């Protein structure tokens, strides 16, 4: 059940994370509750960095931008891929060095670009239109902006269509065939300096072949871009390395990814006699398996199926509903018991699609049991909402056998925060 997850275990029939009893955590902090193991994040980061010792790792903040987690990664030496002004704000708060941040995005506001330029952040430009906007901003701020272009390499990453970003039909990036002309255009501009090239082909990719394919295409472009006089300081190949969510699922390790792409990268840079920095932007790999979501069973209903109603729904974990994503379920207070029946685990949201796990073999489930949903550290809390008038739950961080709150649970007041009632309605 805990395949690959050596930070989790079972003690006295209870699930543990980072050596801490999940049942005790739920009693102390209440449910629903996100619980993250700090040492797992550090270990994942070090494993990734270890496979790419000469590369810079820009953690994809969108996966989980809780400040404590960004602080851990800043202390580990990570840079950041940010996709909004809010993520940039958080990355800077975590004291991630501005020269190790790349501002990405396919539809940035002028205000976001102004912020990036003011803070001296490099921008990955997604269109010619954006280049023009950025130029004006750089002129007004009387500064030079270092940029990359986000390339659409047109590779199929064999992942869920909603998270495949490098297909030619995708909204992201500059079409492969137009890349050289946009670099030529940028080279001619006074306040813009093209110094990088960027792609990201998709997420939860379980095969290294698409990465190798994208690297080959990118290195062909590196060759051409180099020829027209661009002095590349970096080549950013994005994130996307998948993790095993399902029992028995196999995912490539960072070293397997390195074996697939480094020879292509190194051969090309060597033959061109250039030494750009390689940048990678993993999000999921760093944080996904560090975190569980604990939820209490409100009710067990025997209807057309056996429904286990818990106190967390797609308000707190959208992935199963949005991508048909599979997350392992453990009954945290019966973690040593064998399955005895088949259950579907559903949330409290007023939508029939609010199903977090379908037809799972579980030990006998009863009201009051504690459900742990595994591998929710990436795109879990960061995609949560207050839908159905549900304040968001707390997040905790486990370190050295102790848990600390890293985000307090929201209150009813938080549901109303920032709302303003026109006086005629009072």
Catalytic residues: 350
Q: In terms of CB distance, is 149 or 379 closer to ligand LLP?
A: 379
Q: In terms of CB distance, is 329 or 378 closer to ligand LLP?
A: 378
Q: In terms of CB distance, is 23 or 279 closer to ligand LLP?
A: 279
Q: In terms of CB distance, is 290 or 333 closer to ligand LLP?
A: 290
Q: Which of residues 287-326 bind ligand LLP (CB under 6 A)?
A: 319, 323
Q: Which stretch binds ligand LLP (CB under 6 A): 89-97, 215-223, 282-290, 397-405?
A: 282-290
Q: How many CA atoms lie within 13 A of 62 on its CB side?
A: 14
Q: Which of residues 370-389 bind ligand LLP (CB under 6 A)?
A: 378-379
Identify which of 105, 236, 221 has the alpha carbon closest to the alpha carbon of residue 172: 105
Q: Which of residues 81-110 bind ligand LLP (CB under 6 A)?
A: 81, 104
Q: Which of 173, 210, 283, 377 binds ligand LLP (CB under 6 A)?
A: 283
Q: Does 245 bind ligand LLP (CB under 6 A)?
A: no
Residue 310 · residue 347 · CB < 8 Å: yes
Distance in Å, CB of 222 to ligand LLP, minimum? 18
Residue 176's alpha-carbon distances to 123, 219, 222, 360, in angstroms, are 19, 12, 12, 44
Distance in Å, CB of 184 to ligand LLP, minimum? 24
Task: For residues 5 and 3, give the distance between their C-alpha atoms in angstroms, rounded to a whole number.
Answer: 5
Task: For residues 197 and 183, give the distance between their C-alpha atoms in angstroms, rounded to a whole number.
Answer: 10
Q: Which stretch binds ligand LLP (CB under 6 A): 7-15, 20-28, 70-78, 237-245?
A: 237-245
Where is 64: in which H helix or E strand?
none
Distance in Å, CB of 229 to ligand LLP, minimum? 26
Paired tokens of 159: 């992942």
Q: Which of 238, 252, 363, 377 binds ligand LLP (CB under 6 A)?
A: 238
Q: Which stretch binds ligand LLP (CB under 6 A): 188-196, 277-285, 308-316, 392-400?
A: 277-285
Q: In terms of CB distance, is 197 or 297 closer to ligand LLP?
A: 197
Phi (first) and psi of residue 48, to 5 degrees: -65, -50
Distance in Å, CB of 342 to ligand LLP, minimum? 26
Q: Which residue carries 């390195």 as its tokens?
A: 258
Q: Which of 137, 163, 192, 331 binds ligand LLP (CB under 6 A)?
A: 163
Q: Does 44 bind ligand LLP (CB under 6 A)?
A: no
Please state, as a whole number, how many other Cβ atoms lie within 10 Å of the Cβ of residue 408: 12
Distance in Å, CB of 33 to ligand LLP, minimum? 20
Task: For residues 325 and 321, give the distance between their C-alpha atoms in angstroms, rounded to a whole number.
Answer: 7
Q: How many residues make contact with ligand LLP (CB under 6 A)? A: 22
Binding flags for ligand LLP, 49-78, as an x/- string (CB under 6 A): -----------x-xx---------------
Q: Which of residues 102-161 bind ligand LLP (CB under 6 A)?
A: 104
Helix residue spans in 57-155 (DSSP H): 67-76, 85-93, 110-118, 128-140
Sorted by sequence, the CB contacts under 8 Å of residue 27 that are 6+ apart come out as: none
Q: In terms of CB distance, is 240 or 309 closer to ligand LLP?
A: 240
Q: Does 284 bind ligand LLP (CB under 6 A)?
A: yes
Task: For residues 371 and 140, give the distance between their C-alpha atoms in angstroms, rounded to a whole number.
Answer: 55
Task: For residues 121 and 376, give the distance between their C-alpha atoms in angstroms, rounded to a whole number.
Answer: 30
Residue 88 · residue 101 · CB < 8 Å: yes
Q: Please report, in angstroms and rounded to a whole number, the separation of the first and last CA atoms in the chain.
A: 55
Residue 159's alpha-carbon distances to 154, 194, 358, in angstroms, are 14, 31, 21
Cis omega before residue 32 (within 30°)?
Answer: yes
Q: Which of 66, 152, 203, 290 binds ligand LLP (CB under 6 A)?
A: 203
Q: What is the DSSP string of 159-172?
A: S-GGGB--STTSSS
Q: Which of 204, 215, 290, 328 binds ligand LLP (CB under 6 A)?
A: 204
Instruction: Give the residues lining the site for ligand LLP (CB under 6 A).
Output: 60, 62-63, 81, 104, 163, 200, 203-204, 238-241, 281-285, 319, 323, 378-379
């Amino acid at each position: 059940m805990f395949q690959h997850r050596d930070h989790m275990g079972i003690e006295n029939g209870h699930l543990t994370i980072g050596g801490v009893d999940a049942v005790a955590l739920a009693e102390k902090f209440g449910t629903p509750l996100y619980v993250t193991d700090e040492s797992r994040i550090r270990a994942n980061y070090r494993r990734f960095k270890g496979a790419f010792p000469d590369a810079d790792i820009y953690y994809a903040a969108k996966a989980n931008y809780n400040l404590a987690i960004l602080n851990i990664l800043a202390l580990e030496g990570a840079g950041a891929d940010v996709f909004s002004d809010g993520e940039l704000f958080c990355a800077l708060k975590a004291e991630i060095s501005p020269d190790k941040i790349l501002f990405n995005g396919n539809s940035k506001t002028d205000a976001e670009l102004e912020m990036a330029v003011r803070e001296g952040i490099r921008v990955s430009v997604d269109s010619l239109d954006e280049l023009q906007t950025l130029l004006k901003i750089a002129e007004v701020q009387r500064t030079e902006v270092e940029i990359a272009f986000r390339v659409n390499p047109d590779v199929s990453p064999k992942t869920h269509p909603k998270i495949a970003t490098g297909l030619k039909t995708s909204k992201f990036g500059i079409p492969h065939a137009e890349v050289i002309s946009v670099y030529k255009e940028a080279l001619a501009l006074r306040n813009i300096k093209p110094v990088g090239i960027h792609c990201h082909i998709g997420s939860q990719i379980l095969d290294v072949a698409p990465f190798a394919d994208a690297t080959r295409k990118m290195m062909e472009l590196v060759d051409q871009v180099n020829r027209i006089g661009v002095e590349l300081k970096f080549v950013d190949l994005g994130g996307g390395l998948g993790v095993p969510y399902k029992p028995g699922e196999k995912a490539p390790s960072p070293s397997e990814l390195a074996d697939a792409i480094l020879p292509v990268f190194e051969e090309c840079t060597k033959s061109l006699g250039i030494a750009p920095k390689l940048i990678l932007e993993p999000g999921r790999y760093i944080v996904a398996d560090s975190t569980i979501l604990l939820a209490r069973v409100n009710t067990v209903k025997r209807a057309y199926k056996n429904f286990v109603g818990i106190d967390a729904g797609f308000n707190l974990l959208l992935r199963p509903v949005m991508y048909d994503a599979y997350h392992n379920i453990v009954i945290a207070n019966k973690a040593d018991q064998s399955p005895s029946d088949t259950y579907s685990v559903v949330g409290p949201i007023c939508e029939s699609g609010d199903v977090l796990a379908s037809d799972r073999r579980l030990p006998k489930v009863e009201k009051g049991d504690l459900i742990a949903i595994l591998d929710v550290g990436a795109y879990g809390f960061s995609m949560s909402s207050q839908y159905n008038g549900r304040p968001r739950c707390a997040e905790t961080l486990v370190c050295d056998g102790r848990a600390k709150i890293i985000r307090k649970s929201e209150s009813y007041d938080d549901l109303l925060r920032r709302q303003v009632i026109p006086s005629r309605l009072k």
